[in-house]
Each structure stands twice: as C-alpha cells, then as structure tokens.
C-alpha cells in the first residue's frame, strides 16, 4: 500500500496515522524483546526517559532508506533506524538523536546519516546542546560508500559545532570503527558499566589480524575508557543514571557559546564548623596526604561538585560547581593520588576541561598543591614535555575569569603551569600554608648544602636549621606576594568569600581582541 495512491481526506488522514504508528513501533516485537533482554531500552524509551515529559518533537519520522539491492528493497522501515528531534530538559531546548538497535542493528546508512546531519545543523542554527544516544552495529554494509560518507559528514559537523554548542554522547551499546570517532570529538562521553563498548577494531578483527585474544570489556568497555584511556567522562551504573548525569551536567552549561549558564539562587556552603575545619585542613607534615575534594566541597555551593572523568587521572580533579549560584569550572591537584603530581594523563585531562570552560565562558577556579611533574623514563618517552605543555597552554590561552588558590605546594614547573599569575590568571590567592619555590625545603637544603652536611658532626641538626632558613627566606607565600605573583595571602576560612568577591569583579571581563581565538594547542 506504500506505493498506492490514497484518495479522499479521510483516506489520507488514515494513511498518515498508519505510517506514523509504524514509525513509532520501529523494530519488530522480537527485536524489542531482545533489546530488553540485554537490559537495554529502545530508542524511544530512552528519549522519553531523558527529556521533559511530552516535550519531544520528532523530525524525519517517515524517512526511509533508498537501497534497492541485497534484499533491502523489501524492507524499508520508517525512520531508517534512528530517531531524531528536539525537546526540552528542565525547560531548555536540546536536540537529540537516538540510534535504534532494533532496526538493522542500528547500522548507519545514507538516510540515517542525513537525518543526524540535519539535526546537527539545526542545533547549530538555533544554538542548543546536541545529545547523541549511541547504540549501533556500525556502517550498513549494504549501502557501501554512502554509509561511510555519512560518518565523515557527521564528524565534520562535530568539528564545526565544537565550541559553539555543547555536544554530549551517551554510549548505550556497541560503537566501533568510524562510529567511535564522532563521540570522541564531542565534549562529554558517558558510558554505562557492562553495556557500552567503543573501539576502532573489535576483538574478532584483532584476532584475525594479530592473533591477539581479547574481549570487548577489556578492549573498549566502559571501565576501560573511564579509568585507563580517558575517552569517557562518566561511568554510569545503568541507563537511568546516565541520563541523570546528562541532566545535571546541562544544568551547569550554557546552551551555546553566546549564552550564559543557568544562574540559581545563591547558596552558602559553609557553616561555622566548616569554616573552622578549613583552618586545619592542611596537615603540618609536608609529605602527608589529605583530600583536596573535601576542601572544595566546603567552599562551593551546597558542597556539590559534578566531577568530570573522576576515575581517570585521579591525581587531578576537574568538575563543575556553583559559587553564589553561578557555574564555575574547578581544577585541583589531588594529594591523595601520586601526591598531586602532574603527569601526562592529568595534564591532558585538565587542559581539555579548561579549554571547554573557556569556549563556553565558564570561569575557572584552581586549587593548587603540586610537587611538580612526575619524573621517570616512561613519562619522558610518552611525551610529557609536549603533552604536559598542553596544561600551561590552556591556562595561558583562556580568556574567562580565572582565580587560583595555592593551598600547599607549588613547586618547580608545576607552579608555572597550574594557573600561576605568569600565565595571565586574573587573581592569585594563597593560604599561609602555601610553599611556592623551585623545590621543597628539605630537598633544597640537601642540594645546596650537600658538602656542608657531609662534613658536619651533626648533619640532622644542621639540616633542620638549613630547612628553617630556606622556609623563612624562600619557601613561603609572602615572597611571591612581595613580588606581586600572589595578590593576597588569605585565611583558609575566608576562601569562599574571597573567590566569590573576586569573580564578581571579573564578571564583566572581556576576551582580548587579537584577531584569533583558540590557537593550535600542542597536540
């Protein structure tokens, strides 16, 4: 009947209803049952769970593939395996597409790709976030190069939209080959534990080419990409948890690079007890670890920090919080892991986060306790010079309001790249416990006075004296403040108050007009 001419008003109305109902049903009951048996929702169920109730408006519902070979001419389902449209999250417009694994295994063909491309163009033109719910078997083999072409068209738009509207990918099934590059180009990737997989080549292909035995979880599972590769930014326990994270994340982000993030009623995080706790948060012993996250939680609104990639590069913390109701990006060294030292993974994690904040006008607040860069041949051979430079580059390039607080150590190159005044940071504050120097007092005493210590009858007492002298003359925040490298040494209990006040002054800061924005970061 699809090719028959339907006459009369009633007949045309009935035909529209019939086709719309077929499109909404999409995959066969058997395919839907298989999807549910795997613990996975269907494309439309996912959209309903993500968006505000009744807000979804579908685009391209009746589109069908044009392939007339390999038996495809007799199987042309409406929608062609992807649901596209727009709706709202907390009343704000978003564009969303959901790949439908119950139709051709969610494989991407020409019309399928065109639907996503049209949606991406719409997101760019109206300036709203783009969310992709990915669950696909890859390229549709029957459509050949037309399928591959659409992957490239999608990727080109990922690049064009980068820094223009937030792009979020939620991986809800397999994502292999060319399909993996588009999520990698988006701003945030969420994966579901035990459900999501991403890899360029799957286990079977690797086995046939190299003889290596591996499995999808180890090769490209959600934990692998959240913990090891850093390709994903949140490990969800299930689909509902993934969508909750997306909604909270969007609450911190503007709709586009010309808009402001949502502002909420100011909320104070501190009680008198919390202010007092901050005064003794840093241990007396320089080498004793403490939890920087606990400090951040006592400074930001309601103690809430939405971490980005929390189980990757744990020696650095990145996330979104609010201060006096306004969204900020937070970057901080974490002494609980590797002493808070910077390595390749931490540098790249923080650099990309800072650049995102800069692209979308979100202020950056930095908490510093860094002993320097991680030494060793592995890091050097891995490119720590070039890849570590990304962090300093990101700070120096950023034009958003920036405030840095030195909590304890700020040694060597770590001091330079972790939001120092010399990179153009607007406001640099320090706690009295701050140690800003080339190296720690103990190491400095041994390096500078090695011969004297070897010749001493009481080297322990002499070293203690030398360390005290070094701390008094060089390794404290007042030397840096004397030179203007630190704008103020503050009481820890006043940290929130000082940051809020400084950000308030910086609210009208304008980006420099140099004729370009976002140069070529040293990749």
- Per-residue pLDDT for the chain (523 aa), expressed as one digit of tens each? 455 556 677 676 666 566 666 656 666 788 888 889 888 999 999 999 999 999 999 999 878 877 667 667 676 687 888 999 999 999 999 999 999 988 888 788 888 999 999 999 999 999 999 999 999 877 787 777 888 888 999 999 999 999 999 999 999 998 887 788 899 999 999 999 999 999 988 888 888 888 888 888 999 999 999 999 999 999 999 999 999 999 999 999 999 999 999 999 887 657 788 889 999 999 988 889 999 999 999 999 999 999 999 999 999 999 999 999 999 999 999 999 999 999 999 999 999 999 999 999 999 999 999 999 999 999 999 999 999 999 999 999 999 999 999 999 999 899 999 999 999 999 999 999 999 987 666 666 666 767 777 777 777 776 677 666 667 777 789 999 999 999 999 999 999 999 999 999 999 998 765 555 676 666 6
Contact assessment for residue 439 and residue 475, using Cβ atoms and an 8 Å cutoff: no
User: At how many degrees (to 10) do helices 43-50 and 239-250 cross?
Assistant: 40
Is residue 395 classed as helix, strand or coil in its secondary structure? helix
Instruction: Please give the angle made by the CA atoms of 122, 67 and 25, to the nearest 5 degrees.
Output: 65
Pairing state of beta strands 364-370 and 488-489? Answer: unpaired
- In CATH, 272-438+476-506 is 3.90.226.10: yes
Closest CA to 373 of 340, 348, 407: 340
Domain boundaries of the chain, sorted by first residue: 9-250, 272-438+476-506, 441-474
Helix (H) or strand (E) holding 152: helix 145-161
Residue the block writes with tokens 């972790």: 418
CA 25/CA 29 separation, integer angstroms? 8
How many beta carbons lie within 10 A of that of residue 493, not counting itself?
17
Tell me the CATH number for domain 9-250: 3.90.226.10
CA 113/CA 143 separation, integer angstroms? 12
End-to-end CA, the chain: 56
């Amino acid at each position: 009947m699809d090719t028959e001419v339907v006459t009369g008003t009633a007949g045309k109305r009935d035909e529209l209803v019939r086709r719309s109902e077929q499109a909404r049903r999409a995959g066969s009951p058997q395919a839907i049952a298989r999807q549910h048996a795997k613990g996975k929702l269907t494309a439309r169920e996912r959209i309903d769970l993500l968006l505000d109730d009744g807000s979804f408006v579908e685009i391209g519902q009746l589109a069908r593939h044009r392939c007339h070979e390999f038996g495809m001419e007799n199987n042309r389902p409406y929608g062609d395996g992807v649901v596209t449209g727009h709706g709202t999250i907390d009343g704000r417009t978003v564009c969303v597409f959901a790949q439908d694994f119950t139709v051709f295994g969610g494989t991407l063909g020409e019309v399928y790709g065109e639907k996503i491309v049209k949606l991406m163009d719409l997101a760019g033109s109206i300036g709203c976030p783009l969310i992709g719910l990915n669950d696909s078997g890859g390229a549709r083999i029957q459509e050949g190069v037309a399928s591959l072409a659409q992957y490239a068209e999608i990727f080109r738009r990922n690049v064009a939209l980068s820094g223009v509207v937030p792009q979020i990918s939620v991986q809800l099934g397999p994502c292999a080959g060319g399909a993996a590059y588009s999520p990698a180009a988006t701003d945030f990737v969420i994966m579901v534990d035990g459900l999501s997989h991403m890899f360029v080549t799957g286990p079977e292909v690797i086995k046939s080419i190299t003889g290596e035995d591996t499995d999808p979880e180890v090769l490209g599972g959600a934990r692998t990409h959240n913990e090891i590769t850093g390709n994903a930014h949140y490990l969800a326990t299930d689909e509902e948890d993934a969508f909750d994270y997306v909604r909270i994340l969007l609450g911190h982000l503007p709709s586009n690079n010309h808009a402001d993030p949502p502002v909420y009623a100011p909320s104070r995080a501190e009680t008198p007890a919390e202010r007092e706790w901050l005064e003794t948060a840093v241990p007396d012993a320089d080498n004793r670890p403490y939890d920087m996250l606990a400090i951040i939680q006592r400074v930001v609104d309601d103690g809430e920090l939405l971490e980005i990639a929390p189980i990757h590069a744990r020696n650095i913390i990145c996330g979104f919080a609010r201060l006096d109701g306004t969204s900020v990006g937070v970057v901080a060294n974490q002494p609980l892991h590797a002493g808070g030292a910077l390595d390749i993974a931490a540098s790249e994690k923080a650099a990309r986060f800072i650049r995102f904040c800069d692209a979308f006008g979100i202020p950056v607040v930095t908490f510093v306790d860094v002993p320097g860069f991680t030494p060793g041949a592995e890091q050097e051979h891995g490119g720590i010079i070039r890849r570590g430079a990304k962090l300093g580059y990101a700070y120096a390039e950023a034009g958003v309001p920036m405030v840095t607080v030195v909590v304890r150590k700020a040694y060597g190159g770590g001091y330079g790249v972790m939001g120092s005044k010399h990179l153009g940071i607007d406001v640099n504050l320090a706690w009295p416990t701050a140690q800003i120097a080339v190296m720690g007092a103990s190491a400095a005493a041994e390096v500078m006075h090695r011969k004297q210590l070897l010749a001493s009858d009481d080297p322990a007492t002499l070293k203690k004296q030398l360390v005290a002298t070094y701390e008094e003359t060089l390794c404290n925040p007042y030397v840096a403040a004397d030179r203007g490298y630190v704008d103020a040494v503050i009481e820890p209990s006043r940290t929130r108050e000082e940051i809020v006040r400084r950000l308030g002054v910086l609210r009208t800061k304008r980006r420099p007009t140099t004729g370009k924005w976002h140069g070529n970061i040293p990749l």
